[in-house]
Structure 1
Amino acid sequence: MANSVEVSKQPTQIPLLTGLRGMAASIVLISHAAIVGMLPSILGHGFGQVGVMIFFVLSGFLMTFLYIQRIPNKKNISSYLRARVGRVVPLYLIVVVVSVVVSNFLYREFRYSLPLADVGQILQALFFVQAPWELWTIPVEVQFYAVFVLAWMLYPKMGKGSVLLVGAAVTLPAIVYLGLWQAKPSILPTYGFAFFLGAVLAVYLPQLKRLLAGRLPGFLGAAFLVLLFVNLPGLRDEFHLSIAPGSLYISTWLDPITWVIVAGLFVCCLVGSTSLKMFDSRVFIFLGNISYGLYLLHYPILEITARFVGTSIVGLFVGCGASIGLAWLSYRYFERPVMALIRGSRRSRFIGAGEGGHEGP
């Protein structure tokens, strides 16, 4: 059956996606540096959410691209789960535990405040239900990993329809509770459409390439990249162009213009837009590789730097440099070795733009 063809028979690299992930990590870093006062405030105010949007689309695409055509048997699902656990869980759990200790006993103003009095919040974070602060994205990501297995298991019988069906089912609860109660809890249904946009792009990638390869203007990728930085949530609010002033979720996650730009940039990366070759540079690939640690670690570092060093250009370089340096140390000496250990291989192997999966927002 066509749906049972092993993924090894398809290309395993899309070079620009690692760099795109690095760019998304840079957006989050820039946004939070602006929030703590190191950069103009217009670069904050929700711009980091755009980086998260890109991360979620990437995760949905990569899981589908790398796994959906493999036979969903016990061996392959076990391999998938080990890879996901190895990539995401260890560093996240360490950050949660360290945050509990630091915020309760060492530094009360620590960004990731997890009070011992709120045991429920700590347990929810540890068990990937919901997490506060910038940690919120990790439980959402892990929940997607679990749901993806269902789409994968249905794929041999339903083909592409399995991705569409599971994606619709996952998103439906969010439509209900957002419509009835205006609630938007940080769980998968609230953001599931972003992951499944990536998943749909993955299953239709051959058709997409046949349709667009060689037909898109070379400058289009760069045009979408410029629009990404022009379409700042803060700037749109300032000029009264936001679709829902005061609601960060609606004005970013439900904004059609933002999604056209994000999807357009992503598609241009998939078809290898010549104007996006910068994403294949060492700088962006480096940032892409360390992006998970960079996402989890940077905000507390920026806040501590702003408090004790200041928000001048010196503080900016110290805060960003320390964030990148610690993320590299984490990637080199902790994330990769632990991932290799959990996967049962002697060294970690990354396919294309990151079999590493979640790289954070």
Structure 2
Amino acid sequence: MSTNLNNELATKPHYPILDGLRGVSAIIVVTFHLTEPLGTGHLDILVNHGYLAVDFFFLLSGFVMGYAYDDRWNKMSVGSFFKRRIIRLQPMVILGMTLGAIGFYFTDSTIWPLIHTIPLWKMMLVLLIGYTILPIPLSLDIRGWQEMHPMNSVGWSLFFEYIANILYAVWIRKFSKTALTILVIIAAIALAQLAITNGDVSGGWTLNVEQVRIGFSRTLYPFFAGLLLSRISKPTRIKNAFLWCSLLIAMVLYMPRIGGAEHLWMNGIYESVCIIIIFPLIVYIGASGVLQTPREHRICKFLGDISYPLYLVHYPLVYFYVAWISNHKGITIVQAWPYALLILVGGIVLAYATLKWYDEPIRKWLREKLG
């Protein structure tokens, strides 16, 4: 990639509110993972729709991808695009997997009886595969949760993010608005069918046919709907957009489960409406928003800066928390909240530290070395 293109991409007008919303969503993801082990099942988790933040991330990613790259392909090769994405994504993937491996044998719990029977060479093999973000087969499931990435569970969404990036760069970036609209409509129908049939869209982290289908369904609509939105929307100027969007995303993700076990389809309809209609609306409002004070700029910048590192480093901490919960049967939210708060605050501190001392320096070094 030429120096001129790098400069153009760096100086293109930015959407700071979307960065802030990514950070808000990342924090809600952490609270979801901290309340998840306190529920008796997927119907009564306190932060019951927190997993939808991943679908929101995909939509944000598609929007930003279209905005940043759609008009650059006459100056940029597919290889240069992939180089930029690897530099952006892989350093934190590698760190997150490493943190998971460091803590692997220390997360002793009755829910992971396999851990102390796993030889070091097998754990290292899973770690090395994890560094590539490729999923492991079920035969290498060393934790017992049937995860694609036992070192760091959230790696599954990065795997599908890469697939969406590849589809965009190799093929779908060439689509006309009409062709892209047709693709998005088909993907929306597939997503709604999944949600209404299953009662939710939760899943995508296991390498089997059903879970991979869920992963693709959760990725294709939001990512390419975000891309379409970047092409057809004409943002206006909306005051207090960050506040209203943050409240809206929190309301959506903290909404209790709807319909219960008797009416799973009701919750499926809710999640379909959220992903297909409400999330694009939030992104549009956020892209149209105007930050009015330096304080708002600082908040959005901080939240945007920590969002990706927080997503990648928090789950290795959550493994310890889940092990503690499982080893103390009957723990309530009242007893657990101080530890949960410690994990949340510690995760944010760790995310900021890794951003400044690892991620940014590594990415700068890679850009200088790789051009």
TM-score, with length taken from structure 1? 0.70
2:18 partner amino acid: L
- 1:58 pairs with 2:60: yes
1:141 is displaced (CA, Å) by: 0.8
Residues 276-322 of structure 1 show CA distances to partners (whole Å, capped at 9, x for unaligned) of 98994423421221111211221332452573999545323321221
- 1:289 pairs with 2:305: yes
Q: 1:188 to 1:258 in 2, by over 3 A?
A: closer
Q: Which moved more, 1:145-154 or 1:220-229?
A: 220-229
Contact 1:305 1:318 in 2 (8 A): no
User: Taking every aligned residue pair, what percent have the same amino acid on both sides?
Assistant: 18
Task: Write the distance in 2 (CA, Å) between the matches of 1:110 and 1:102.
Answer: 16
Q: 1:120 to 1:143 in 2, by over 3 A?
A: farther
Residues 159-216 of structure 1 show CA distances to partners (whole Å, capped at 9, x for unaligned) of 435644776798899899999x9924164454211101110111123xx23xxx25x7
Contact 2:259 2:265 in 1 (8 A): no
Contact 1:294 1:327 in 2 (8 A): yes
Secondary structure at the counterpart of residue 72 of structure 2: coil
1:144 is displaced (CA, Å) by: 1.3
- 1:32-43 aligned at under 5 Å gives the runs 32-37=33-38, 43=46
Task: Write the distance in 1 (CA, Å) between the matches of 2:123 and 2:157.
Answer: 20
Count of aligned positions: 322
2:356 alignment partner in structure 1: 332
- 1:150 pairs with 2:177: no
Task: Write the distance in 1 (CA, Å) between the matches of 2:219 and 2:348.
Answer: 27
- 1:192-211 aligned at under 5 Å gives the runs 192-205=220-233, 208-209=234-235
1:265 alignment partner in structure 2: 282
Secondary structure at the counterpart of residue 289 of structure 2: coil
Secondary structure at the counterpart of residue 183 of structure 1: helix
Residues 258-289 of structure 1 show CA distances to partners (whole Å, capped at 9, x for unaligned) of 54222221111111167x98994423421221
Q: Which moved more, 1:265-274 or 1:165-174?
A: 165-174
1:44 alignment partner in structure 2: 47
Q: Which moved more, 1:195-204 or 1:120-129?
A: 120-129
Contact 2:97 2:130 in 1 (8 A): yes
Secondary structure at the counterpart of residue 244 of structure 1: helix
Residues 65-103 of structure 1 show CA distances to partners (whole Å, capped at 9, x for unaligned) of 111111345x44333222210121122134335534642
Q: Which moved more, 1:105-114 or 1:24-33?
A: 105-114
> Over aligned residue pairs, what C-alpha RMSD do you find?
4.6
1:22 alignment partner in structure 2: 23
Among 122, 129, 133, the residue aligned to 1:128: 133
Task: Write the distance in 1 (CA, Å) between the matches of 2:165 and 2:360.
Answer: 20
Secondary structure at the counterpart of residue 210 of structure 2: coil
Task: Write the distance in 2 (CA, Å) between the matches of 1:280 and 1:77.
Answer: 36
- 1:235 pairs with 2:259: no
2:160 alignment partner in structure 1: 140
Residues 133-176 of structure 1 show CA distances to partners (whole Å, capped at 9, x for unaligned) of 3221110111111111124662xxx5435644776798899899
Contact 1:83 1:342 in 2 (8 A): no
Q: 1:177 to 1:152 in 2, by over 3 A?
A: closer
Q: Which moved more, 1:263-272 or 1:163-172?
A: 163-172
Task: Write the distance in 2 (CA, Å) between the matches of 1:265 and 1:182.
Answer: 32
2:265 alignment partner in structure 1: 244
- 1:113-124 aligned at under 5 Å gives the runs none
Q: Which moved more, 1:260-269 or 1:170-179?
A: 170-179
Task: Write the distance in 2 (CA, Å) between the matches of 1:175 and 1:183.
Answer: 16
1:28 partner amino acid: V
Secondary structure at the counterpart of residue 69 of structure 1: coil
2:86 alignment partner in structure 1: 85
Secondary structure at the counterpart of residue 258 of structure 2: helix
- 1:216-235 aligned at under 5 Å gives the runs 225-232=246-253, 235=256
Contact 2:310 2:348 in 1 (8 A): yes
Contact 1:68 1:152 in 2 (8 A): no
Task: Write the distance in 2 (CA, Å) between the matches of 1:237 and 1:177.
Answer: 16
Task: Write the distance in 2 (CA, Å) between the matches of 1:220 and 1:242.
Answer: 35
Q: 1:235 to 1:335 in 2, by over 3 A?
A: same
Secondary structure at the counterpart of residue 12 of structure 1: coil
1:111 is displaced (CA, Å) by: 10
2:29 partner amino acid: V
Task: Write the distance in 2 (CA, Å) between the matches of 1:269 and 1:101.
Answer: 38
Q: 1:55 to 1:176 in 2, by over 3 A?
A: closer
Q: 1:12 to 1:33 in 2, by over 3 A?
A: same
2:100 alignment partner in structure 1: 99
TM-score, with length taken from structure 2? 0.68
